[in-house]
Amino acid sequence: MIARGGMKHYVLQKGVYVYERYLGDKNILVFMNGTSSDVEINLDRYKESIKGKLSGKDIISGRTVSFEQTLKLSPKEVLVLE
């Protein structure tokens, strides 16, 4: 799915680049903080990609990440959420 399927880009928000990869009914969301500071972003603009899910699992660390109203990212942090 990461290498195949569709891709949706989102406009940069506070130095954070977000894109979605999808194939069939599966998708992943990738959040990349390109700054050297902690960043908190509003998740409302990603509702179409979150699709009503309450949380996602980072496939790199195994950590569960809440899809509440905001997401906090550490400097240069990358999350790959399914």
DSSP string, 7-67: EEE---BTTEEEEEEEETTEEEEEEEE-SSS-EEEESGGGHHHHTT-SEEEBTTT--EEE-
Backbone angles phi, psi at 12, to 5 degrees: -50, 135
| pLDDT lower than 50: segments of the chain | none
Q: What is the pLDDT of residue 32?
A: 98
Q: What is the pLDDT of residue 3?
A: 73
Predicted TM-score (pTM) of this structure: 0.92
pLDDT on residue 43: 96
What's residue 4's pLDDT? 78
Q: Which domains does the chain have, with CATH numbers?
A: 6-81 (2.60.40.1180)
